[in-house]
Structure 1
């Protein structure tokens, strides 16, 4: 028979890369949020789950069970084969460690395929994530990357991470660039997914000598940063990047690629149009309609983003700061590396 596994036991095995997590919930449940790194082998697809749920509510528990058995029976050979192709230790979970994961583990056991079942299912995992984040203490001191819109903060962090530096990329975890245009072309994560991914990253970085992350607002797209990260940002050593306006425009074009989603960017602009002086707003809108993105970006920087950033930057006056002027993002990356290597105190 199968064996239940706790969150703590699961974490130990995952830390050693000794187990594969398999989410047997429906594709839409998996898409909404799951244990990071899990595979999805659904016991029921979305339509089947809805049908069984309707029978459960409107007819009877027995009718729902009978229909579930009928559906599952027809799919068992293919279902078992999928699990058989996964090497090594395996653990399954559903919403609360109920019928779907129990039935999966039992059937697989009868077929000679041993799997663990996560006790309490995804609900228990989610509870653990929330409670852990509420009491989490991030040990390493922080370098916090500041700078006007377009100074390549995210790109600098991405390149540093590629070189092995301890980077916490909050925008990547949120699936959002953090601006009114930040969702375009990306799949924004919900709070459950963000929290799970964040906790995985935090555990990986907990013993680093320091961490680097961007000075994000508390809200990034659909998600909200936990309070301890906000405090870490405020207490960290600020590295304030400065790039020429031309380089900033180029960086925004490369990062946002407005020519791929012109209508979406125009729609997003109209959400902030009323906050910009009317003649300037009309000119920006005209440029976006004609897909003249570079002048539109330049005006947005001058008349919207830069004034807002200057106001926000005043909150950090008096904190430890490193001023870093660079001509390009490449120079900015090297400047951050040199600042760290020089032993600038945190």
Structure 2
């Protein structure tokens, strides 16, 4: 018979051995939010789940169970085969640790495939994340990248993370670059997915000597950054990146790829054009419509993003920021590494 484990027991098991997690909810539920790293082997697909839910509401529990059993019976061989192909220890879960995960665990047990079932399902996992995240033993020291739009802050973070530095890429976790154009070309996370991914990354950084991250606003797209990270931002060592205008434009073109998403950028621009002086706003719009993106980006920086950033630059608090004036993103990454070294910090494998 299968064994139930709590979320707390799951966390302890994951510290000591590899455990494959399987989300047996429908594909759309899995896409909406899951435990990071989980596989999706659904008991019912979206259409089947909707059909059973309708029967439950309109006919009754027994009718819904009978239809669910018929659907499950037809797909049982393929369902079991997928689990047999997964090596090692396995744990299944659904929304609340109810019927779907119990059915999956029971069927697999009868087929001599041992799995555990997570009590309370993803609902219990999310509660654990929200209750526990702020209590993780994070480093006291942080280094926070500031700078005008296009100074390659995210690119620097990615390069540092690839080299093993303890980086927290909030925009990467959010699937959003933080601006009005930030969602274009990306798969933005919802709050539940962001919180789960953030929690898993912070666990990896618990014993790092410090954390490096970007100075984000409280909101990144539709998600909200936890207060304790905003406090860490304000207390951290501020590193301000400065790049020449031409390099900033090149970096924005590379990151945002406006030639691939021209219509989406035009639609997003219309949301902010009213905040820019009318003749200039019209000229920027014309550049974007005619595919002269570099010219449009330059004007957006000069007349909107740079003044907006400079207005909020008073966020630097107790100590003076460390300013890094360089010619490229690669030079910026090297300069940040030098700062970390000079501060007596050691590169980690986090």
TM-score w.r.t. length of structure 2: 0.96
Q: How many residues align?
A: 345
Deviation larger for 13-22 or 226-235: 13-22
Query: How far is the alpha carbon of 1:15 from its aligned partner?
Result: 2.7
- Structure 1: segments with no counterpart, 5+ residues: none
Structure 1 SS opposite 2:177:
coil
CA–CA distance in 1 between the matches of 2:76 and 2:195? Answer: 34
Match of 1:29 in 2: 29
Matched, 1:143 2:143: yes
Alpha-carbon separation, structure 2, partners of 1:272 and 1:7: 44
Offset of 1:137 from its aligned partner? 5.7
Deviation at 1:134, TM superposition (A): 5.0
Change beyond 3 A, Cα 1:115–1:221? same
What per-residue deviation string (whole Å, max 9, x for no partner) do you get for residues 203-235 of structure 1?
Answer: 110110111000000100110000000000000
Shift of 1:17: 4.4
1:295 aligns with 2:295: yes
How much has 1:315 moved relative to structure 2? 2.2
* Distance (whole Å) between structure 1 residues aligned to residue 280 and residue 315 of structure 2: 28
Name the CA shift for 1:134/1:335 in 2 (closer, same or farther; >3 Å): closer
Instruction: Report the counterpart of residue 63 of structure 1 in structure 2.
Output: 63
SS of match in other structure, 2:271: helix
TM-aligned CA deviation for residue 143 of structure 1: 0.2
Q: Distance in 1 between matches of 2:73 and 2:337?
A: 59
Q: 1:112 to 1:170 in 2, by over 3 A?
A: same
Aligned to 1:278: 278
Q: Tell me whether 1:334 sits opposite 2:337 in the alignment.
A: no
Q: CA deviation at 1:13?
A: 2.4
1:192-231 alignment runs, 5 A limit: 192-231=192-231
Deviation track 1:176-210 (CA, whole Å, cap 9, x = no partner) reads 00111000000100000000000011111011011
> What is aligned with 2:165?
165
Equivalent residues in 2 for 1:304-323, closer than 5 Å: 304-323=304-323
How many Å separate the matches in 2 of 1:204 and 1:57? 44
* SS of the residue 1:113 aligns to: coil
Give me the whole-angstrom Cα distance separating, in 1, the residues matched to 2:317 and 2:6. 47
Q: Which residue of 1 aligns with 2:235?
A: 235
Kept in 2, the 8 Å contact 1:18–1:89? The answer is: yes
Given that 2:25 and 2:94 are in contact with CA atoms closer than 8 Å, whether structure 1 keeps it comes out as yes
The range that moved more, 13-22 or 104-113, is 13-22
Do the aligned partners of 1:235 and 1:319 also contact (CA within 8 Å) in 2?
no
Structure 1 match to 2:101: 101
1:179 counterpart residue number = 179
Give the Å deviation of 1:320. 4.0
Asked whether the equivalents of residues 4 and 117 of structure 2 are also in contact (C-alpha less than 8 Å), the reply is yes
Q: Secondary structure of the equivalent of 2:155?
A: helix
SS, match of residue 260 in structure 1: coil
Q: What CA distance in whole angstroms lies between the structure 2 residues aligned with 1:61 and 1:259?
A: 53
Q: CA deviation at 1:318?
A: 4.2
1:12 Cα shift? Answer: 2.2
Shift of 1:136: 4.8
Matches of 2:336 and 2:318, distance apart in 1 = 20
Matches within 5 A, 1:82-97: 82-97=82-97
Offset of residue 319 of structure 1: 2.9
Which consecutive unaligned segments of at least 5 residues does structure 2 have? 346-350
With 335-344 and 120-129 compared, the bigger mean Cα shift is at: 335-344
2:129 aligned partner? 129
CA contact (8 A) 1:90 1:114 kept: yes
Question: Which residue pairs with 2:348 in the alignment?
Answer: none
Normalising by structure 1, what TM-score? Answer: 0.98
Q: Give distance in 2, aligned partners of 1:284 and 1:224.
A: 30
Q: Answer yes or no: is the 8 Å Cα contact 2:136–2:206 preserved in 1.
A: no
Give the secondary-structure state (helix, strand or coil) at the position aligned to 1:258. Answer: coil
Give the alignment's Cα RMSD to 1 decimal.
1.2
**1:7 Cα offset (Å):** 1.1
Q: What is the alpha-carbon distance in structure 2 between the residues aligned to residue 97 and residue 200 of structure 1?
A: 21
Q: Which residue of 1 aligns with 2:12?
A: 12
